[in-house]
Structure 1
């Protein structure tokens, strides 16, 4: 069983880059005027290339993991429903800012796919890696659509227009089509594409740190607690229920739990900032979620005993 300390070690690079971006932005001449163009570069070029590469590099055979896909999609749909319902709860709805909720809802159901891949390989080897690759390929379009919807609607923007222009969704859709057609990135191009992907992770995390304003988390304490509770408590419990309901084998159960118990996606901040919402608030939520993942992953895997 993976220990919390091992998971913490995997998170150290992410934490370090977020902290580096925060310190550089606050205490050097490289202030927000520098980091805003960086956000655009990550959102419109670097992250889409990374998503496309992640999806096309391994064949996806959904038929071999139908139960796992049903469980993963079912868990995420429950997370989306819980996140969307927060403004409509009688004891909570009047106490949260609707615009902040539109931006923060995605934190409750998006996932850090790179941590998922790393942890699945450590836990279950090549078979675990294949299982989570199937989950990521199927679920990335779902969570991206669910993330864009509240912000497109709340900003009075056309939902389908925003969806069709969203570079993360375009990259995911084209990656799935290329994978289905058996297309691969040529070997001579892979090193360059890999470097672009690595740059997207580093710059995206540093941009999230540069945009952080922890005071905003205090302003939305109730909303913050709600979305993080869904991400780190409700989703592992729902995933466990699917494991019992469908009778998933050990490898699939571990893959599903890793998928549903890790921290939220660092790209939540990039999407929020580019759609004109409170990116600093969401950057703080991403940082807290990264820390809480150290607890939620052992909790989720412990449920499988």
Structure 2
């Protein structure tokens, strides 16, 4: 356990540094947008491209991994909405509650953390499940969030907006370009590759620091009191039930003869054990859902994940 904590501690410590810096006023909240832009449009796409280009194309297009993970994501979304959409919680809040429960922080935290723990061989499954969450899970929940105010027209508009957002997100495109480079065995010229390597090297520390800053900003902007029963169960479901579901479905698929490698299943379970994705808070602001509730799910899951994720690593790897 101690050896695992030695690996995971720096990742969560950087999140804490970003949180403290923002809460203390050392990092102005107006600067967080610039950090997000650097990570989202420069550093992280370079990291994803390099991992994609260096990963065999078969791992990036593994149907068994995609099928198991997508099924689990849909089950989490469906169950969360069914259990939480009652009383004052409508489709908008229920849908984003489901998204924050089903969407791990794979891009900002999962890629660098799992590569550090399991080596670059883990990048293929991580990138594949990240693509599923960005393209399918997010689009589905955004569409469901629009059911409160309109009929079929509202859902169609929401889907169009979701796919428009996906098209302008550089991360899926960097994954696609990396996959194409892998399939064609194509390498960038040396100076260009070195430039991308330098940007990719900055992705992990800046992204983790930015997570903490975003969490602090969300807390500072939300002054209303949110009952613990509205967010603690979602955080626990993210950290415990989601990875357990992925493990159970994966083992069942393997028992039925699905060509799912045990290593890939381990990677998927650890991805599911990550805390909730911090970018869900940005989507909530855009679509007018309950920001305080989602921000607290992200904060609680991130704080608890230091121990819960480390315990999952010990159970699955050591």
Q: Name the TM-score class by shorter chain.
A: 0.7 to 0.9
Q: Does 1:149 align with 2:139?
A: yes
Q: Deviations along 1:250-304, whole A, 9 cap, x unmatched?
A: xx313421332246668922464267454744642344334321122333458xx
CA 1:174–1:286: 2 relative to 1, 3 Å? farther
Paired residues of 1:40 and 1:274 also in contact (CA < 8 A): no
Partner of 1:210: 213
CA 1:265–1:169: 2 relative to 1, 3 Å? farther
Partner of 1:98: 94
Displacement, 1:51?
Answer: 1.1
Q: Does 1:51 align with 2:41?
A: no
Partner of 1:268: 277
- Structural RMSD (CA): 3.3
CA 1:288–1:43: 2 relative to 1, 3 Å? farther
Equivalenced residue count is 284
Paired residues of 1:239 and 1:256 also in contact (CA < 8 A): yes
Partner of 2:17: 20
TM-score by length of 1: 0.77
| 46-55 vs 227-236, which moves further | 227-236
Partner of 1:295: 311
Unaligned runs of 5+ in 1: 122-128
SS at match of 1:268: coil
Partner of 2:187: 184
Distance in 2 separating the partners of 1:159 and 1:262:
23
Question: Please, which of 203, 224, 232 is the counterpart of residue 200 of structure 1?
Answer: 203
Partner of 2:232: 221
Displacement, 1:101?
Answer: 1.4
| 178-187 vs 277-286, which moves further | 277-286
Partner of 1:114: 112
CA 1:163–1:298: 2 relative to 1, 3 Å? same
| 285-294 vs 159-168, which moves further | 285-294
Distance in 2 separating the partners of 1:199 and 1:267:
22
Unaligned runs of 5+ in 2: 147-157, 220-224
TM-score by length of 2: 0.74
Displacement, 1:235?
Answer: 1.7
